[in-house]
Amino acid sequence: MLDLSLLPDGGASWLDASGEHADIVISTRIRLARNLEGYAFTPRARDGERLRILTQVREAFASLRSIEDGVLIRVDELAPEDRLLLHERHLVSKELAGLNDQPVRTGAAVYLSRGVGIMVNEEDHLRLQALHSGFHIPDAFGVIERLDAELGNKVPYAFHNEFGYLTACPTNVGTGLRASVLIHLPGLVLTKEIGKVLAGLQQVGLTYRGMYGEGSEVVGNFFQISNQTTLGRSEGELLDYLVRVVRHVIEREEEARRVLLRDAGYIMEDKLWRAFGTLRYARSLSFEEAMNYLSGVRLAVGLKLISGLSVYTLNKLLIFSQLAHLGHAEGRALTESEANVARARYVRETLATEAE
Amino acid sequence: MVCDLCKGGEAVIQLTEIEGSGVRQLHLCEKCAAERGVETTLTAAKPQINNFLQTIHEQMPAAKGEPVHCSFCQGTLADFRATGRLGCAHCYETFESSLRDLLRRVHGNSRHIGRRYVAPLPTELPHVSSATELRDRLKRAIEAEQFELAADIRDKLRGIE
């Protein structure tokens, strides 16, 4: 079984709730898509080519200075539940973990260290990503920019004079940059402002998704806001723009929360304490149910209606109450109903020990 | 669960309304939700890739004078239309004018103005076996029934070996 404690930060430093606006913005992720010269792109490459890519980058990883104590995990050699575990921890994409309709690819791997990772043989040969707690775009970009410069000196990237960094899908070409912010917007959902906000995002060239990226459902009022365009603007412009828009969304969310408290204070308080009560005492919780109640409790903590509960605990509950994480803690794969019982127990015990 | 309003459609939206001092929860089907002005796309973010695939399907005829196959990976524009993924970096040159139009539609621009990359000198790079690379290209050329190209690649391989 995969032991994530072997990773320098346990693969969980992004949960520590240290960044700016940590109660509203859970995390910031920036990724760069890069491909190597001399090979077909991953989806068209043969098994042998992908293995050679892996060998080539593995040598380069070993001498990287911007990543310390990195650990290479051969995703293609992992059991399905361990691949799901990495995905639930936001360390690999669904595609790399072979959780889409395609099976895991030969040569799929990930190199992980504190808050940074490099996926190998994803849709592109390399996907460099930095994952930070809270709203931390400049820091996350600084890390990834240094890593990219260093790695690009060790392996030759595919670059086109006019089109920039070349990618398997033309929606990523140019900078290859996708920055996304995982944000909790219950106030805008409850005040029914969310539709307008999301429609507005799409009009200004940004997009939103569920917590797990492309095609994933929005659960628990968690949204990922990211840039859609990757070409025709510099990295700095793309990031500045996202920062400005996300700041505005945060302000709208804070305003919605003030309105809720002002116009429906005791109703909100009742609803949110009920959510806390359910999580504190339920004996079986489906994932969706847990996410929705956790959303309520997170809102209550943000509104200071509930005190003595840290945002870090809430972040941990979000991640560790998922199927593969529960199974990992129990040491075996769980059926859905077993997971519901294990989830309720985990949430109950965590709240009993970590909520004052 | 059926819709609380029309009692017919399947409820897909849970709406919490706050009116005065009361709260009520409604379970609505997509149609009734839309009629009440609730954004129904909220529950399932539209995968962007579908729109993108639709764009390339509808608006990407091959430009005049472009080769049918990419000489490196044997990919075609038809493959690209079917999967939304290009075969290799050389496809960007092979299908340059078709792609330029597509990029303008998708990104509003086709010119990269971000960081420029300077590749390291070949002597600074770890050795990559060009014979294995040629063998991969040879297999792909045969699969795509590009026999003339396959013969060229085979000759190059013989030269190396």
Q: What is the pLDDT of residue B58?
A: 65
Among A105-109, B2-6, B36-40, the range scoring the smallest mean pLDDT is: B36-40
| Res A292 pLDDT > 80 | yes
Q: Chain A 144-163, CB below 8 Å of chain B: which residues?
A: 152-160, 162-163
Residue A174 has pLDDT above 80, yes or no: yes
The pLDDT, as a whole number, for residue B44 is 38
Stated as kind and residue range, the H or E segment containing B141 is helix B130-143
| Pairwise CA distance, residues A143 & A118, whole Å | 12
CA dist A53 and A35 (Å) reads 10
Q: According to the model, what pLDDT value does residue B47 have?
A: 44
Q: Smallest CA–CA separation between A182 and chain B, in Å? A: 14
pLDDT digits (tens, 9 = 90+) for A315-353: 999 999 999 999 999 999 999 999 999 999 999 999 999
Lowest mean pLDDT among A181-190, A314-323, B120-129: B120-129
pLDDT tier at A32, thresholds 50, 70, 90: very high
| Confidence label for B46 from pLDDT (cuts 50, 70 and 90) | very low
Assign A271 a pLDDT band (cuts: 50, 70, 90).
Answer: very high
Q: A18 pLDDT exceeds 90? A: no
CA of A5 vs chain B CAs: smallest distance (Å) = 32
Q: Which of A128, A227, A125, A236 is nearest to B106 (CA)?
A: A227
Q: Which residues have a Cβ under 8 Å from the Cβ of A105 and sit 6 or more positions away?
A: A42, A50, A76, A98, A121
Round to whole Å and give the CA distance between A222 and A212: 10
Q: Which tokens in the block code for residue A220? A: 């628990």
A25-29, A112-116, A278-282, B12-16: the lowest-pLDDT one: B12-16
pLDDT band, very low/low/confident/very high, at A212 (cuts 50, 70, 90): low
- What DSSP state is assigned to residue B123? G
CB-based contact A60:A151 (threshold 8 Å): yes
Which residues of chain A make contact with B38, given a CB cutoff of 8 A?
192, 195
User: What value does the mean pLDDT take over residues B85-107?
Assistant: 92
The DSSP letter of residue B47 is: P
Greatest Cα-to-Cα distance within chain B, rounded to the nearest angstrom: 85
| pLDDT for A23 | 85
Evaluate if residue A50 carries a pLDDT over 70. yes
Q: What is the pLDDT of residue B118?
A: 86
Residue A215 contacts residue A207 (beta carbons within 8 Å): no
pLDDT of residue A254: 95
Go through chain B and tell me how many residues it has: 161
Distance CA A278, CA B62 (A): 59
When pLDDT is averaged across residues A49-74 and rounded to a whole number, the result is 91
d(CA A248, CA A200): 11
Phi, psi dihedrals of residue B9, rounded to the nearest 5°: -70, 165
Beta strand segments in chain B, E: 13-19, 22-28
Query: CB-based burial of residue B145 (10 Å sphere; 0-12 exposed, 13-18 middle, 19+ buried)?
Result: exposed
What's the CA gap between A20 and B65, in Å, rounded?
54
CA distance B85 to A167: 9
Predicted confidence at residue B42, as pLDDT, reads 41
Residue A83 has pLDDT above 70, yes or no: yes
pLDDT at position B21: 52
Interface touch A210/B41, C-beta < 8 Å: no
- Chain B closest-CA separation from residue A67 CA (Å): 20
A102 vs A10, which has greater pLDDT? A102
Minimum distance, in Å, between the CA of residue B111 and any CA atom of chain A: 5
Q: How confident is the model at residue B45 (pLDDT cuts 50, 70, 90)?
A: very low
> Percentage of chain B surpassing pLDDT 70?
66
Q: What is the pLDDT of residue B16?
A: 62
pLDDT at residue A252 above 80? yes
Q: What is the DSSP string of A165-198?
A: E--SSGGGTBT-EEEEEEEE-HHHHHTT-HHHHH
Q: Output the average pLDDT for chain B.
A: 76
- Band (pLDDT 50/70/90 cuts) for residue A214 is low
CB of B73 closer than 8 Å to CB of B140 = yes
Contact B85 A59 (CB under 8 A): no
Residue A219 touches chain B, beta carbons under 8 Å: no
Q: Would you call B107 and A155 a contact, using CB atoms and an 8 Å cutoff?
A: no
In angstroms, the CA B38 to CA B47 distance is 20
Compute how many other C-beta atoms are within 10 angstroms of the C-beta atom of residue A266.
9
pLDDT at residue number B140: 80
Q: A126 in contact with B at a CB cutoff of 8 Å?
A: no
Q: What is the mean pLDDT of residues B129-153?
A: 78
Contact B139 A41 (CB under 8 A): no
The DSSP element (H or E) to which A119 belongs, if any, is strand A116-120
How far is the C-alpha of A29 from the C-alpha of A131, rounded, in Å? 4
State whether A166 and B124 contact (CB < 8 Å): no
pLDDT at residue B36, rounded to an integer:
64
For the segment A140-163, what is each residue's pLDDT rounded down to a tens digit? 999 999 999 999 999 999 999 999
Residue A308 falls in which region: left (phi positive, over 0), alpha (psi -120 to 50) or beta: left
ipTM of the complex: 0.86
- Does the pLDDT value for residue B134 go beyond 70? yes
Q: Residue A218 pLDDT more than 80?
A: no
Q: And the tokens for A146? A: 């240094």
What residues of B are in contact with residue A160 (Cβ under 8 Å)? 89, 92-93, 112
Q: Is the pLDDT of residue B153 over 50?
A: yes
Cα-Cα-Cα-Cα dihedral sign, residues A54, A59, A63, A68: positive
Q: Which pLDDT value is given to residue A126?
A: 98
Evaluate if residue A285 carries a pLDDT over 90: yes
B151: nearest Cα among B142, B160, B159, A132 = B142
Beta bridge partners of A27: A133, A182
Distance, CA of A75 to CA of A321 (rounded, Å):
22
Give the pLDDT band of residue B43 (cuts 50, 70, 90): very low
Q: How far apart are the first and last CA of chain B?
A: 69
Summarize the confidence of residues A110-121 as an average pLDDT: 94
- Say if residue B158's pLDDT is above 70: yes
Contacts of B99 (CB under 8 A, 6+ apart): A163, A170, B91, B92
